[in-house]
Amino acid sequence: MKRWILVLLVVLGVALAAPLVPALSVTVAPRELVPAQAGFVAVGGAYPLNVSVTLDGEPLAVYWTGSGYLAPFAFDFEQPPGEHQIVISAANPATGERLEETETIRVVEYRYPEEYVALAFRLTPLLNPQLNLDELAQLDAIYALQTQPVHWGWPFAVPAPGSVVTSRFGGNRSYNSGVWSAYHTGTDFRLGVGGPVVATTSGRVAAAQMFEVRGKVVIIDHGYGVYSQYAHLSEVYVAPGQLVQRGQIIGLAGATGRTNGPHLHFEIIVNGIPVDPIRWLALYPGFIPPREIDPERDGDGEGSPGEGEVLPPPDPGAGS
Ligand SMILES: [Zn+2]
C-alpha cells in the first residue's frame, strides 16, 4: 500500500513538473539552399503561444496557420554561400515558460548560367533601364503587403498543366549586347496564344493589369508574404480582390510585353524576393517536376526563352 502511495506521488510529481508548453515540433525546409531560393519554418504547438523566429538575428514574420506557426524566408540572387542561424522561441503567456531552439541552414555555391539574349528590334525600347526599374518598383509595392490567407494552399500546382519548361529560372541575361541585363526571375512554360493558365494555388488576386515589360499580368496573393505572377498573357479572366482556387483558369497565355513569342512566364515571390518557382513547388512532398524541353529531341530554337532568342556566349578571342 505504501508503495502505491509512493508511485502515485512520483506520477503526480512528474505531472506537475511537466512543462505546460507542449513539446515544440519544428520543421525547417529546406536546410540547404541556393541563392534565390525560399523555404519555411513551421512550428507545431498549442495555441496561443508567443512564437518568434529570427534569421541571423533579424525577425521573420510569423503567422498562425490554424494548426501551428509558419515563417517563410527567402534568399536573393546575391546571397553568398554560408551558414545561417534560425532561432525559434516560444513562450506561454499564461505561465511565462519559454522554449528556444536553434537550427542551422546553409546556402551553397550555385552559378546561374549566363545567357546572351537577342530581342527583336521593335522590342528594344523595352530594354530602357529606367522603364525596367520603374516596373520592378511597381511590383515591389504590390509584394510589400503581407496578408493572412483565407485558405493556405499546399501543394502549389504547375500553372500550365501538361506543359514543358522552355527556360529555367535564374539565367543571368544580357539583352542585345548589354543594353539591359537582369536575372530571369521566373520559369517559362511552352504555351501557345490561348493556352489555359491556372492559379498555382488558392489566393486573392492582387493585380490584373498591363505592364510594359511583362505584358498582361495576373498576380495572386497567397498570404504569408507569398505571391505568384503570370506574365505575357493574352486574356485575363480575374479582377483584383477576387478569390481564386488552385487550378482555376485565371487567363490565357499570349505574347504581350517584351517577348519574341507566346509562352507563360511564371514567378513565385516570397517576402518580396523572386525565388525559383520549381524549387518552391518541390517543397511539398511528392511533387512531380514538369518536363524540361530537350533541344536534341524537341528541335532547336524551341528551347530558347520566349523573352528573346538565346545566343551563344561571345567569343572572348574574337576581338570585337
Ligand atoms: Zn520568363
Q: What is the pLDDT of residues 163-217, one digit of tens each?
A: 999 999 999 999 988 888 999 999 999 999 999 999 999 999 999 999 999 999 9
305 phi, psi to nearest 5 deg: -65, 140
List the Cα angle 268/269/271 in 5-degree steps.
150
Question: What is the distance in A from the centroid of ligand 1 to the CA of 232?
Answer: 9
Question: What is the distance in A from the centroid of ligand 1 to the CA of 307?
Answer: 6
Helix, strand or coil, per DSSP, at residue 141 = helix
Q: In what order do the strands lie in the sheet with 32-33?
A: 32-33, 98-107, 82-91, 50-55, 58-60
* pLDDT value of residue 195: 97
SS (H, E, C) 34-59: CCCCEEEEEEECCCCCEEEEEECCEE
Q: What percent of the chain clears pLDDT 70, i.e. is strictly above it?
A: 84
Question: What is the distance in A from the centroid of ligand 1 to the CA of 275?
Answer: 13
**pLDDT over 70 at 5, yes or no:** no
Report the candidate in 231, 260, 254 with the shortest Cα–Cα distance to residue 122: 260
Residue 13 grid cell: 510529481
Confidence of residue 48 (pLDDT cuts 50, 70, 90): confident
Please, what is the average pLDDT of the chain? 87
List the Cα angle 237/241/230 in 5-degree steps.
50
Question: What is the distance in A from the centroid of ligand 1 to the CA of 53?
Answer: 33
Instruction: Calculate mean pLDDT across residues 282-294.
Output: 92
Q: What is the pLDDT of residues 16-33, one digit of tens each?
A: 444 444 566 889 999 999
* pLDDT value of residue 310: 64
**pLDDT over 60 at 2, yes or no:** no
Residue 295 grid cell: 533541344
* pLDDT value of residue 307: 74
Question: What is the distance in A from the centroid of ligand 1 to the CA of 153?
Answer: 24
Question: What is the distance in A from the centroid of ligand 1 to the CA of 100?
Answer: 41
Say if CB 268 and CB 275 are below 8 A apart. Answer: yes
Question: What is the distance in A from the centroid of ligand 1 to the CA of 74?
Answer: 20
Question: What is the distance in A from the centroid of ligand 1 to the CA of 51?
Answer: 37
Please name every residue paired with 167 in a beta bridge, in sequence order, or none if there are none.
188
Taking the alpha carbons at both ends of the chain, their separation in whole angstroms is 98
Spatial separation of the C-alpha atoms in residues 225 and 61, rounded to whole Å: 9
Question: What is the distance in A from the centroid of ligand 1 to the CA of 102?
Answer: 37
Q: What is the pLDDT of residues 297-306, one digit of tens each?
A: 654 444 445 6
**pLDDT over 70 at 138, yes or no:** yes
180 phi, psi to nearest 5 deg: -150, 140
Q: In what order do the strands lie in the sheet with 114-118?
A: 180-183, 172-175, 114-118, 309-311
Question: What is the distance in A from the centroid of ligand 1 to the CA of 220?
Answer: 17
**pLDDT over 50 at 256, yes or no:** yes
**pLDDT over 90 at 284, yes or no:** yes
Spatial separation of the C-alpha atoms in residues 269 and 225, rounded to whole Å: 8
Domain 19-107 top-level CATH class: mainly beta
Q: Which residue has the higher pLDDT, 153 or 303?
A: 153
Spatial separation of the C-alpha atoms in residues 245 and 127, rounded to whole Å: 35
* pLDDT value of residue 300: 41
Buried b (16+ CB within 10 A) or exposed e, 92-116: beeeeeebeeebebebeeeebeebb
Q: Where are the domains of the chain?
A: 19-107, 114-311
CATH code linked to domain 114-311: 2.70.70.10
Neighbours of ion ligand 1 (CB under 5 A): 186, 188, 265
Question: What is the distance in A from the centroid of ligand 1 to the CA of 43?
Answer: 34
Q: What percent of the chain clears pLDDT 90, i.e. is strictly above it?
A: 70
* pLDDT value of residue 316: 46
Spatial separation of the C-alpha atoms in residues 217 and 210, rounded to whole Å: 6
* pLDDT value of residue 152: 86
Sequence length of the chain is 320
Q: Which residue has the higher pLDDT, 14 or 186?
A: 186
* pLDDT value of residue 297: 60
Question: What is the distance in A from the centroid of ligand 1 to the CA of 214?
Answer: 9
Confidence of residue 309 (pLDDT cuts 50, 70, 90): low
